[in-house]
Amino acid sequence: MVGQSFGIWLSRCKVIYYTFFSWMYGFVGSCTNLAMVNSSWTQSHIEKMWKIPKLTKKVYPPCDTSGLQELPLGRSNKIPTFLSVAQFRPEKAHTLQLEAFSIALGKLEADSPRPKLQFVGSCRNKEDEDRLQKLKDKAIELRVEKDVEFYQNLMYKNLVRLLGGAIAGIHSMIDEHFGISVVEYIAAGAIPIGPRMDIVLEEDGHQTGFLASDANEYADAILQLLRMPERERLEMAEAARKRVSRFSEQRFYEDFKILQSYVFLSIEKRLILKIGGKVKDWRE
């Protein structure tokens, strides 16, 4: 009885602590001159917590994909390959991808080339290794083990080889700050399938990938790609690759420099106004 009462008291203390911490987090954040965020999801979170939408600006992180962009867009039609690159963590939702792949195989025409799904990721600890083993067991349960490959702690040069052979890259984590693996997909010429709001968007009016949120939507996207003429797939891959420049190191440098100037100008304005002077154009 005493232990139960203590547990209730401890839970209430935790609620009070986290409520206070959340308030402090929002208060301190609201005092900033400028908040730079790396995605639309992060922007939405910061605007909600800090309540400074006009001072919250989106700057995508720098992704060096110059080597991947040299890979040819053409792919072999013998075994269409779908690639999934992510650590074997629960929030990456690998099981969803496996179930979607199984659904797609069940709907695939008998005379169509049988595709392959490749999982590439690292394991941080024993829990991740157990999760990977459960994923392998799930493949057996779904009777797709012959169509699925698992690569643990793969060297980067081997990852590049797999990216260069994949017709699509699958990503299924939601509420993620930024999906660098999706940028690598489009740079390598693999059509992205996933929930990304910032990356999988139209480019010059052309579709660059497929958005999906559940197993059936992922399965439909897989089937659309498998049934798509090679010419259309190449056009989509080319349009997607054009978006890579939005996430380049050069773009990050330019956007960061512009916002840095904004911060300095804001501080300068405040200092000058305090002493009753006139604000000078910061570009002079």
Q: Is 195 within 8 Å of 181 (Cβ atoms)?
A: no
279 confidence band (pLDDT: 50, 70, 90): very low
Burial 234-249 (b: 16+ CB within 10 A, else e): eebbebbbebbebbbe
Convert the pLDDT of each residue in 246-258 to its tens digit.
888 899 989 888 8
Give the CA distances from residue 20 to residues 9, 49, 171, in Å, rounded to whole numbers and listed in that order. 17, 13, 35
Lowest mean pLDDT among 128-132, 155-159, 269-273: 269-273
**What average pLDDT does the chain have?**
87
**For domain 68-246, which architecture applies?**
3-Layer(aba) Sandwich (3.40)
Strand locations in the chain (E): 35-37, 56-58, 81-85, 116-121, 148-152, 168-170, 191-194, 210-211
The CA R_g of the chain, rounded to the nearest whole Å, is 24
Helix (H, G, I), strand (E, B) or coil at 121: strand
- Give the count of beta carbons closer than 10 Å to the beta carbon of residue 252: 17
Q: What is the pLDDT of residue 125?
A: 92
Higher pLDDT: 277 or 160? It is 160
Q: What is the pLDDT of residue 265?
A: 72
Convert the pLDDT of each residue in 216-225 to its tens digit.
999 999 999 9
Convert the pLDDT of each residue in 69-98 to its tens digit.
999 999 877 899 999 999 999 999 999 999
> HSE on the CB side for 74, CA within 13 Å?
1
Q: Is 94 within 8 Å of 88 (Cβ atoms)?
A: yes
Q: Is 165 within 8 Å of 80 (Cβ atoms)?
A: no
Give the CA distances from residue 2 to residues 5, 8, 85, in Å, rounded to whole numbers and listed in that order. 5, 10, 49
Higher pLDDT: 77 or 132? It is 132
DSSP state of 228: S
Q: What is the pLDDT of residue 127?
A: 93
pTM over 0.75: yes
Q: What is the pLDDT of residue 156?
A: 93
CA 242 to chain CA centroid, Å, is: 17
Q: What is the pLDDT of residue 81?
A: 96
Higher pLDDT: 76 or 117? It is 117
Q: What is the pLDDT of residue 278?
A: 47
